[in-house]
Amino acid sequence: MSEQQHASAKHHITGFVLSLLLTFAALFLALNTPLSVGLKLTVIIVLAVFQMLVQLVYFMHVTEGSKIYQIISFSYGIFVAVCVVAGSIWLMLLNGMSMY
Amino acid sequence: MGLFNFKMPEHFIIMNNPLIIGAWISIILVSVGIVFFVTKYKKWGYLWREWFTTVDHKKIGVMYILAALLMLFRGGFDAILMRTQLALPDLKVLDAQHYNEIFTTHGTVMILFMAMPFIIGLMNVAVPLQIGARDVAFPVLNAASFWLFFVGAMIFNISFVVGGSPDAGWTNYVPLAGSDLTPGVGINYYLWGLQIAGIGTLATGVNFFVTILKMRAPGMTLLRMPMFTWSTLITSIIIIFAFPVLTVTLAMLTFDRLFGAHFFTIDAGGMPMMWANLFWIWGHPEVYIVILPAFGIFSDVISTFARKRLFGYNAMVISMVAISGLSFIVWVHHFFTMGNGPWINSVFSITTMAIAIPTGVKVFNWLFTMYKGRIETPAPMLWSLAFIPNFLIGGVTGVMLASAPADYQYHNSYFLVSHFHYVLIGGTVFGCLAGMYYWWPKIFDFKINERISKWAFWLFVVGFNLCFVPMYLVGLQGMPRRVYTYGEHMGWTTWNFVETIGAYLMGVGFMLIVWAIIYSILHEKRDRSGDPWNGRTLEWAISSPPPHYNFSRMPSRVTSADPFWDAKKRGETMFDENEPLKPIHMPNNDGMPIVLSGFMFIAGFGFVFEWLLIGFIGLLGVIGSMIWRSFKDYDADHYVQVDEIERDQAELKAALEGRS
Amino acid sequence: MASSSVPKGTPNFPEYQTEEGRLKIFGFWVFLAAEVVLFSTLFATYLVLADRTAGGPTGKELFEVKDFMIETMLLLTSSFTCGLAVLEMRKGNKKGVFIWMIATLAMGLGFLGMEISEFVAYVHEGATLQTSAFLSGFFVLVGTHGAHVTLGVVWISLVLTQVAKRGLTPMTCRKLFIGGLYWHFLDVVWIFIFTAVYLTGLI
Ligand code: HEM
Ligand SMILES: [Cu+2]
């Protein structure tokens, strides 16, 4: 049960600070740097994924309860979500860029 | 589009056709008849207590199956009408518009309101018993799932007589289904019927997923679960992740039609292709949702009647897990011809062919299970045996369609129609019937009559092949799907006529199944001992019908995937009889699900007619019912006391002795 | 329903003490996984339609950095206070639960207020659901999130009245915990809206 003791106020504050850092980093990168559009998009998406992990671990206690099953279900949801989003963009937007 | 706009559609009450007038008359007669007899015999209280408010998974399962049979009748009637119209060239049984409506409702009813509830009904009946649970994880939610499905089906079906049926195909493609090209209420019926039923289905998925993972009897590890339970687990996963896509897609088209949004319109940047894309992201997983449980049923039935352990249990599990993932990455094969680039079509051709591999593996497993078995052929086994060759035909033609360049030839022809009927009828329908025959003497204390059922079986299977083999042929000759008639000079007449004969034979087969059920209710021998097939899994270790708490003691000797069979061989039962009986914790009946669903009906009906005020009132009622339920959540269960359990046991004993 | 004995490895917190609690918490996780797919469909549609402005206003013209940053801060902070409320719940401190949860709800209401005024402003600029495919996608994606937040506020308030009446029992704790899960999840969704809609729209 040691894991649970960690779920203290300090733990939550860490999560909060991390989420603020990630948010402002994304904002800064997107609006105030000269990076290319593609790179910016990649980086802010990665930051958003980290932000999600912060919420899941620090606030939602995904590692408690039916830990393994919870993680598997959520990951499966993300797998399908990626298929839906990436698949739709590929089919609907990038289609015109292929040979015909 | 104001809140208080109550515009009337052109024809509110549809009366323009003898068929519809006939439907009106029968609806009125049947309703009046039901109300009259229920009132006369004072059964309202009984119905309310024992059925409308029940949270017992077995009763919910029975209601699902009953509804599914009714819908099979409705969808079958549509099919007979279509086949009659097409029997000969240039017939005038149905006009073009009416034909469009009928193939639309046929397809939608068969997949969403027949196959789905039939399968979910069988899951309800069998899965908790197979895993040794006393109920599902969320019994009240389970009841809500049923009533939501029921309301969805009602909304969809009344379109026939009130306001007009949908007519854009079960795939409901835009722009045809948009409000510019198809104004009126028909498409709205489609959207709301599916939406409401779909929410119920999603809840079922969550429910069974949790039930199977968290409520198995001691000793039943994941790899000792009966194959039907495994298939239900995998199906639940697919439901959980596919149905939200349907929910959103339907909602977006609703926004287009009711509130002038531009998701799928041709103007203002809307994107009609996006509908096809999203529809099939849900739609392909959906076809696996209706086939996997059938695979599970065949596995259990075949190993029971071959008297052998299922061959290749692990391979079966692995292939189902593989299918659950693959089924989300093949959807494009439904629109190869929509102008995708070569990369896209190639990738999805390959994934589609890949999904045929795990499916093929299973066929070998069933064959090897039967190899050297002592095979018996009662009705459930007959349907399972018929399944293998028929499904094979459907699967092989599926692989033919999976090749994108070839699909340019087959697409939207009768070849395709025949493919999906071979998998849906030869797979899903045969599976549902096998399951119904198999578990019937578990839900009730009698079997369905064998003699009549054999007749029904042969008529149906022969009729099925007579109907659908020629469809492959006329498909290859170029006959497109969804045409309401054809000319003599096309040269399709003979085969079409044969198809119609086949369809009628199937109709007779179905009527005989119904007759077999009625006959058996009246005449079949009663047997409460609970193991009529010499079964292998836990559900056969308890009496038929089981007490409402299923297990008076928890099964405690699960040591393999065929626990009951092995226990019988060891000369044991599944239970430790020395263990003292304990009070059993059970959920109370609950009126919330049916009330909530009633409000959902009001909401759905309001939105179908674009009477927003009524729609929102219905939705408020739905939310209100949930809040009400949340506050009385605190006393939602009770204990079944030991003396009641003992009384049940004594009564069962007396019944069994009286028999011998 | 199964035995009342608590299986090994169960967290020693009130919400996990009953079989019902454990099942419902797990079930809710599964539901959230389904919600991931639900929102992903809306995101997919929005992203596909984002450039189809049909001559109407674009994201660049509409989005205000200050506004959506304040919205983001409100939700992030409310997620934090909601976490603290659950922490207090586990300590059995009813007063703490109320303080932090009410703070959470207040920020949720603040967020909703801002979002509604944002929508109203857009409509006044001639950017409505009917204007273009882009805006249909925008309003329905962001609006669905907003509707979820509204539901969350109503729901958690109702659970709080139950806590006020019954105290922190395993049952009310389970409801609070699930309400909290929902709230954090909406924050996760918002992060993706922040990224995929607002930031991407301005790049
Ligand atoms: C062996 C595995 C399977 C393969 C390779 C396969 C392949 C295909 C392909 C490529 C199509 C699209 C053809 C076209 O539109 O031109 C299709 C359509 C269809 N399949 Fe399958 N399939 C398989 C199994 C199943 C199963 C198990 C079911 C249902 C239980 C099913 C039901 C359907 C339906 C309903 C359609 C047509 C829907 C429509 O356009 O209205 N298929 N299949
Ligand atoms: Cu498919």
Question: Ligand 1 centre and the CA of C23: distance in Å?
Answer: 36
* More confident: B117 or B658: B117
Measured distance CA(C60)–CA(A37) in Å, rounded: 14
Q: B421 CB under 6 A from ligand 1?
A: no
| Closest B-chain CA to C165 | B631
Phi-psi sector, B641: left (phi>0), alpha (psi -120 to 50), beta: beta
Distances in whole angstroms, Cα of residue A6 to Cα of each of A19, A65, C88, C183: 18, 15, 14, 21
For residues C29-47, average pLDDT: 97
Measured distance CA(A21)–CA(B43) in Å, rounded: 66
Dihedral sign of CA atoms B39, B42, B43, B48 in order:
positive
DSSP SS3 for A89: helix
DSSP SS3 for B25: helix
CB–CB of A27 and C11 under 8 A? no
Q: How do the pLDDT tens digits run along chain A, 100 residues long?
A: 334 444 578 888 999 999 999 999 999 998 888 888 889 999 999 999 999 999 998 888 888 877 899 999 999 999 999 999 999 999 998 875 544 4
Measured distance CA(B384)–CA(B426) in Å, rounded: 9
Q: B409 CB under 6 A from ligand 1?
A: no
CA-based nearest residue to C45, from B249, A9, A10, B24? B249
Measured distance CA(C13)–CA(C33) in Å, rounded: 23
For the segment B497-509, what is each residue's pLDDT rounded down to a tens digit? 999 999 999 999 9
Asked whether the predicted pLDDT for residue B1 surpasses 90, the reply is no
Asked whether the predicted pLDDT for residue B435 surpasses 90, the reply is yes
Please name the amino acid found at residue A33: T
CB–CB of C188 and A16 under 8 A? no
Check residue B427 and report its DSSP letter: I
For residues C172-195, average pLDDT: 95
Closest atom of ligand 1 relative to the B333 alpha carbon: 10
For residues B245-273, average pLDDT: 95
Report yes or no for ipTM above 0.90. yes
Instruction: Mean pLDDT check: name the lowest of A78-82, B75-79, B147-151, B656-660.
Output: B656-660
The answer to whether the beta carbons of residues B467 and B76 sit under 8 Å apart is no
pLDDT at A6: 46
pLDDT at A96: 56
Closest CB to A80 among B328, B339, B342 = B328
Token pair of B476, please? 């290859």
In DSSP notation, A22-75 reads HHHHHHHHHHH----HHHHHHHHHHHHHHHHHHIIIIIS-TTSSSHHHHHHHHH
CA-based nearest residue to C13, from C186, C169, C138, C179? C169
- Interface partners of chain C (CB pairs < 8 Å, 3 or more) are A, B
For the segment B14-52, what is each residue's pLDDT rounded down to a tens digit? 777 777 788 778 888 888 888 888 888 888 888 898 999
CA-based nearest residue to B598, from B573, B622, B582? B622
pLDDT at B655: 87
CB–CB of C185 and A60 under 8 A? yes
C162 CB neighbours in chain B (<8 A) are 630-631
Interface residues of C toward B, Cβ cutoff 8 Å, are 1-4, 22-24, 26-27, 30-31, 33-35, 37-38, 41-42, 44-45, 48-49, 52-54, 56, 129-134, 136-137, 139-140, 158-159, 162, 166, 171, 175
**Between C19-49 and A67-92, two packed helices, what is the crossing angle to 10 degrees?**
10
pLDDT band at residue B339, thresholds of 50, 70 and 90?
A: confident
Mutant choice from A76, A78, A91, A94 vs B, greatest count of B C-beta within 10 A: A91
Q: B401 CB under 6 A from ligand 1?
A: yes
DSSP SS3 for B480: strand
- B587's enclosing H/E stretch is strand B584-587
Q: B345 CB under 6 A from ligand 1?
A: no
Question: Ligand 1 centre and the CA of B285: distance in Å?
Answer: 11
Mutant choice from B328, B330, B352 vs A, greatest count of A C-beta within 10 A: B328
Distances in whole angstroms, Cα of residue B375 to Cα of each of B370, B372, C37: 7, 8, 45
Q: B427 CB under 6 A from ligand 1?
A: yes
Q: Does B206 touch chain A (CB under 8 A)?
A: no
Chain C residues 61-120 with CB within 8 Å of chain A: 65, 69, 72, 76-77, 79-80, 82-84, 87, 90
The answer to whether the beta carbons of residues B85 and B97 sit under 8 Å apart is no
Length of chain A: 100
* More confident: C7 or C122: C122
Q: B352 CB under 6 A from ligand 1?
A: yes
The answer to whether the beta carbons of residues B241 and A76 sit under 8 Å apart is yes
Instruction: Mean pLDDT check: name the lowest of B31-45, B408-422, B609-623, C177-191.
Output: B31-45
CB–CB of A51 and C84 under 8 A? no
Q: Which residues pair with B637 in a beta bridge?
A: B587
For the segment B521-577, what is each residue's pLDDT rounded down to a tens digit? 999 999 998 999 999 999 999 999 999 999 999 998 899 999 999 999 999 889 988
Measured distance CA(B196)–CA(B200) in Å, rounded: 7
Buried residues in B224-241 as b, exposed as e (16+ CB within 10 A): bbbbbbbbbbbbbbbbbb
Token pair of C174, please? 């389970």
Closest atom of ligand 1 relative to the B481 alpha carbon: 41
Q: What is the dihedral of CA B344, B345, B351, B355, to 10 degrees?
A: 150
Measured distance CA(B255)–CA(A39) in Å, rounded: 35
Residues whose Cβ atom is located within 5 A of ion ligand 2: B 284
Distant-in-sequence contacts of C58-64, Cβ < 8 A, 24+ apart: C58/C134, C58/C201, C59/C134, C59/C138, C59/C197, C59/C198, C59/C200, C59/C201, C59/C202, C60/C201, C60/C202, C62/C122, C62/C125, C62/C127, C62/C201, C63/C198, C63/C201, C63/C202, C64/C118
Instruction: Mean pLDDT check: name the lowest of B9-13, B525-529, C128-132, C147-151.
Output: B9-13
Measured distance CA(C84)–CA(C102) in Å, rounded: 11
For the segment B359-402, what is each residue's pLDDT rounded down to a tens digit? 899 999 999 999 988 999 999 999 999 999 999 999 999 999 99
CB–CB of A16 and C76 under 8 A? yes
CB–CB of C23 and B137 under 8 A? yes
pLDDT at C135: 96
Q: B284 CB under 6 A from ligand 1?
A: no
CB–CB of B329 and A99 under 8 A? no
pLDDT at A71: 93
Buried residues in B146-168 as b, exposed as e (16+ CB within 10 A): bbbbbbbbbbbbbbbbbbbbbbb
pLDDT band at residue C11, thresholds of 50, 70 and 90?
A: confident
CB–CB of B277 and A69 under 8 A? no
Cis bond upstream, residue B272 (ω within 30) = no
Measured distance CA(B57)–CA(B143) in Å, rounded: 8
Query: Which residues make Cβ contacts (< 8 Å) with residue A82, sequence separation at least 6?
Result: C40
CB–CB of B340 and A83 under 8 A? no
Dihedral sign of CA atoms C162, C163, C168, C173 in order:
positive
Provide CATH code, domain C14-202: 1.20.120.80
The answer to whether the beta carbons of residues A1 and C12 sit under 8 Å apart is yes
Global pTM reads 0.94
Question: Ligand 1 centre and the CA of B453: distance in Å?
Answer: 30
Measured distance CA(C20)–CA(B389) in Å, rounded: 45
Cis bond upstream, residue B175 (ω within 30) = yes
Q: B115 CB under 6 A from ligand 1?
A: no
For residues B395-424, average pLDDT: 94
The answer to whether the beta carbons of residues B391 and B426 sit under 8 Å apart is yes
For residues B492-501, average pLDDT: 95
pLDDT at B9: 74
- For chain C, give every domain's residue range: 14-202
| Opening angle at CA B227, ends B225 and B231, nearest 5 | 105
For the segment(s) B1-290, the CATH number from 1.20.210.10, 2.40.50.1070, 1.20.120.80, 3.20.20.150 is: 1.20.210.10
Provide the mean pLDDT of chain B.
Answer: 93
Closest atom of ligand 1 relative to the B115 alpha carbon: 30
- For chain B, give every domain's residue range: 1-290
Length of chain C: 203
DSSP-derived pairing of the beta strands B637-640 and B584-587: antiparallel
The answer to whether the beta carbons of residues B124 and B133 sit under 8 Å apart is no
Q: B333 CB under 6 A from ligand 1?
A: yes
